[in-house]
Amino acid sequence: MTRIALTGNIASGKSAVSEILKQKGFEVLDTDEVSHKLLTVKNNELYNVFKDYDVFENGEFSRAKLAKIVFSDKNIRKKLESVLHPQIAREIEKFEGIVAIPLLFEAKMEKMFDKIIMVYTDDAIRLKRLMKRNGFTEEEAKNRMNSQMPQDDKVAQCDYVIYNNGTISELTKVISKLINLNFDRQ
């Protein structure tokens, strides 16, 4: 079986695509879930990098506190990524199937995959989704969006692009067509 990357920028609909793929019988590893599991003080390497920052609550990493400093300081974000990305890569290496990985290109992990599928959604739609979904102000949402490589820079590096500017029903039809033409469930 091949390893396929499912990528897309924040609020593009990767989770919706992942759920549709699971319903169609595909195994999907979500690297966001992997990173959440790695955010523990038992992760000595990560703890040592952040022990002097106000990112802990009740003896554990606070994702909210960590996100606040990571998305306001590029250097701190790079510190986090320098620890998490290699750990996430080790988890990916153990898996065959579809890997939902938002920061595929930013983490320079594209060579780990046989094929790359990108979920692309217009920036204005992503901005609205992100503000509604997370309760962010426009500025907070734009900071998150701007922390990633622009979508248009990624498209040329992908094998398939799923445009997700419509409804779930439309998205399901596009995914069905894509997998029926290109992929085996294994």
CA–CA separation, 8 vs 121, rounded Å? 8
pLDDT category of residue 1 using cuts at 50, 70 and 90: low
* Alpha-helical segments (H) within the chain: 14-23, 31-38, 44-50, 63-70, 74-93, 123-134, 138-146, 151-155, 168-182
Of 119, 113, 87, the closest CA to residue 13 belongs to: 119
Q: Give 68-111 pLDDT, tens digit per residue.
A: 899 889 899 999 999 999 999 999 999 999 999 999 999 999 99
The pTM of this model reads 0.91
Predicted confidence band of residue 181 (pLDDT cuts 50, 70, 90): confident
Alpha-carbon span 101 to 99, nearest angstrom: 6
